[in-house]
Structure formats: C-alpha cells, structure tokens
Amino acid sequence: MAIVSGHANVQQGQWVLIHAAAGGVGHLAVQIAKARGTYVIGTARASKHDFLRSLGADQIIDYTEVDFADELSDLDAVIDTIGGDYGTRCLRTLRDGGTVVSLTPTLDDQAHQRTAERGIRTGFTLVEADHAGLEAIADLVDAGRLRAKIAAALPLADAATAHQLGETGRTTGKMLLTVL
C-alpha cells in the first residue's frame, strides 16, 4: 500500500497516526504499518476499538470524545483518510521533518508554507499500484499479516448504495461489489 510504505515511508520504531483506522483504507494501513514495525495510533469511535486492537493498533483515540490534535505530538507520520480540517490539524501532531499523506488535497497555501518551514513532507495519493508494492502486499497476505475485513458485499447494481454506506463513515472495513 503506497500510502504507508511509499509516500509516508514509515520505518521501524516510528510513531504513525492513521485516521479512520477501521475504515476501508485505514484498517489495511494499520496492518501494513504494524508489519513495518511502527507504533500505530488510530482514530475511531469506541465501537471499533476492539477491532483495531485485533489488527495490532497500539493506541486508539475516540475522535467523538477527544481531539487527536490536543492529545498527540512529535509523530513521525500521519495518514489522513478524512480530509477537511483534519489536514491542518494533523500538522500540529507532527514533529519537524515528519510526513503527512492524505487521500484528499486539504492543505491551503498557508498550511503548505508552515510545512515547508518545518521540513514536513506532504503527499496526496489515490491509487498508485507498482509491482514491488503489490508483491510486498502479497507477501503480507501470504504470511497472514494482512487481511481485508469486508463490511458488506453488494451486487454491482447497488453501487450507489455501497457508496452511500461508505460516505457515512460508519463502515468497518471494505465495501465489496460483486459482479456475476
């Protein structure tokens, strides 16, 4: 998963924050970051904490009760799967020279200026498959260290419903569309 290993380039011993850690991208990012030897902090509502612990998350913050930006500092990397004001709030949690990777471009010009002053790397990605990255993911799957949680499997004709469910922010794992 390029977000964790490529853009963020997390390394053993680093501290990584993953937003929406129980979601479709987040739950995979947690497992990949753990496989790379990092300390993983995830944000999720309380009902998803046991699931995240089962994936190896070291610390979980209930974003409905606590502002992560007030609780965390000196992190090495943040994976922002949410966007909006999370991007600028994430900057408060990073050490100088840290990295924030987002699935949505959320930083304004002023935020980009602050990142440059602090040596913070920023990245934006959607899908970036590469041969080496796919082999690394396959190795984790083969070793039993990466598993996808399927939130729901719906027929392709219900793609709009799947999209709506995903937008609620309440799903745990991936939405799957079946093609028959």
Ramachandran category for residue 175: left, alpha or beta (phi over 0 → left; psi -120 to 50 → alpha): beta
3-state secondary structure 27-53: HHHHHHHHHCCCEEEEECCHHHHHHHH
The domain locations on the chain are: 2-124, 150-180
Model's pTM, two decimal places? Answer: 0.85
Whether residue 153 is predicted with pLDDT greater than 50 in this model: the reply is yes
Q: Which of 6-15, 18-27, 67-76, 79-88 has the lowest mean pLDDT?
A: 6-15
Indicate the SS3 state at residue 177.
strand
| 3-class secondary structure, 175 | strand
Cβ count within 10 A of residue 35: 18
125 confidence band (pLDDT: 50, 70, 90): low
Q: What is the mean pLDDT of residues 26-32?
A: 94
Average pLDDT, rounded, for the chain: 87
pLDDT at site 40 = 98
Q: What value does the mean pLDDT take over residues 70-82?
A: 94
- Coil, helix or strand at residue 160: helix
Q: Is the pLDDT of residue 111 over 80?
A: no
Q: What percent of the chain has pLDDT over 90?
A: 49
Q: Are 24 and 174 in contact (CB under 8 A)?
A: yes
Residues 6+ apart with CB under 8 A from 147: 31, 141
Do residues 57 and 108 make contact, with C-beta atoms less than 8 angstroms apart? Answer: no
pLDDT digits (tens, 9 = 90+) for 3-24: 444 466 788 999 999 999 999 9
Task: Identify the CA nearest to 83 among candidates 126, 19, 25, 5.
Answer: 19
Q: Average pLDDT, stretch 63-73?
A: 96
Strand partners, 177: 154
Tell me which CATH homologous superfamily contains domain 2-124: NAD(P)-binding Rossmann-like Domain (3.40.50.720)
Task: Say yes or no to pLDDT of 163 above 80.
Answer: yes
Alpha carbon separation from 62 to 43, 46, 71, 125 (Å, rounded): 6, 6, 11, 25
What residues does 175 pair with on adjacent strands? 152
Helix or strand run (H / E) with residue 161: helix 159-167
Look at residue 165 and tell me whether its pLDDT is greater than 90.
Answer: no
pLDDT score at 2: 46
Which alpha helices (H) appear in 119-158, and where do they start and end? Answer: 131-142
